Amino acid sequence: MLSFIARRLLSGVITIWFIATATFFAMHAVPGDPLTQEKAMSPAVRAQLEARYGLDKPLFEQYRLFMSNMLHGDFGISFTQENRRVNDIISKHFPISATLGIAAVLIALVGGVAAGSVAAYCRNRWPDRLVMVAVIAAISVPGFVIAGLAQLVIVAMNNAAGKTLLPVAGWGSVSQIWVPALVLGLGTMAYLSRIMRASMLEVLSADYNIAAKAKGVHGWRLFWHHQLRNAVLPVVTELGPTIAAITTGGFVVELIFAIPGLGRYFVQAVQQLDYTVIMGTTVFYGAFLVLVVVLVDISYGLIDPRIRLHRGRA
């Protein structure tokens, strides 16, 4: 087991190195450089700046420096916000993206499980049809359209009520999480409710379910202890990758709802060619993804030795 974990961790580290290298060279292939400014700059000033960011060194030397700094967990100083460190930026803004992402996953999970169960219970009757239509809509409408429309709906709702029922945008209070999280989690919710419906249908026709009913278990108890617990398993196994995807993918929601998450910073940094922030963010997200995957792998390995063997062989 230990060697399995060690192997997974090692391959994780190599993957992160690969990501860092790919990012570094992709970034340096970009025409133009982050020092370009609107006002023309005197050569003396430019030389100073190049020295400050190490851009005066040969590419390979820059790469070596970047790697050794990265090993010390230091991504350098931002180009656009000259007095802030990239580590600062990540540590301030990633928790926001993560909070939003986790809230989205929670909403998706609760919503997906509820909708899927309802659909399974009412198989081929109108609630089932309704859920399935909603699922199809949520999967096929692009997220940016949903985000834009959601904001309009909130404004209309607040105007109709004459007071602020739900905040339109911003970040800082609990109330400001829900709408963006719902928008972000909608696609996943639809996907999970599909899985939930299928697995609940299986459970409903399973022997132990019939046995439990025969034993006289019914109502909430039956649902909670016998059906939900079994039906929810396939949904839970889907969660790992989903959490990672959602947490790293909230760009547009963060833009539209004025949420200071790391995704928004990344898009801005790309537009400003802010090398250090781009590289820092990408490596960080890459590492985060790898970590999630490794953790999921290890936990599967712990649960099911067959996977361990299989993965070890592959």
Distance between CA atoms of residues 238 and 6, nearest Å: 24
If phi > 0 it is left, if psi is from -120 to 50 it is alpha, else beta; for residue 148 that is: alpha
Which one of residues 56, 74, 202, 238 is an interface residue with other proteins (CB under 8 A)?
238
122 binds other proteins (CB under 8 A): yes
- Tell me the closest approach of the beta carbon of residue 1 to other proteins, in angstroms: 20
Token pair of 226 as six digits: 């016998």
Q: What is the DSSP letter of 224?
A: I
Rank residues 72 and 313 by Cβ distance to other proteins and give the closer one.
313
273 binds other proteins (CB under 8 A): yes
Q: Is residue 69 within 8 Å of residue 77, measured between CB atoms?
A: no
Q: Candidates 60-68, 268-276, 298-306: pick the segment binding other proteins (CB under 8 A).
A: 268-276
Write out the binding residues for other proteins, residues 30-59 only, by CB under 8 A.
30-34, 36-49, 52
Q: Is residue 196 within 8 Å of residue 231, measured between CB atoms?
A: yes
Write out the binding residues for other proteins, residues 215-234 only, by CB under 8 A.
218-220, 222-223, 234
Q: How many residues bind other proteins (CB under 8 A)?
A: 130
Token pair of 182 as six digits: 């719902």
Site mask, other proteins, residues 139-178, x = CB under 8 A? xxxxxxx-xx--xx-xx--xx----xxxxxxxxxxxxx-x
Cβ atoms < 10 Å from Cβ of 30: 12
Burial (CB < 10 A; 0-12, 13-18, 19+), residue 142, is exposed
Q: Which residues contact 234 (CB under 8 A, 6 or more apart)?
A: 195, 198, 199
Which one of residues 6, 59, 67, 136 is an interface residue with other proteins (CB under 8 A)?
136
Nearest to 104 by CA among 249, 256, 238: 249
Which one of residues 4, 94, 98, 286 is an interface residue with other proteins (CB under 8 A)?
286
270 binds other proteins (CB under 8 A): yes
Cβ atoms < 10 Å from Cβ of 223: 16
242 binds other proteins (CB under 8 A): yes
Give me the residue label for tokens 């096929």: 140
Chain centroid to CA 307 = 25
- Tell me the closest approach of the beta carbon of residue 47 to other proteins, in angstroms: 8
Q: Candidates 55-63, 67-75, 285-293, 301-309: pick the segment binding other proteins (CB under 8 A).
A: 285-293
Write out the binding residues for other proteins, residues 69-98 only, by CB under 8 A.
77, 80-84, 88-89, 92-93, 96
- Tell me the closest approach of the beta carbon of residue 221 to other proteins, in angstroms: 10
Which one of residues 206, 293, 296, 307 is an interface residue with other proteins (CB under 8 A)?
293
- Tell me the closest approach of the beta carbon of residue 302 to other proteins, in angstroms: 20
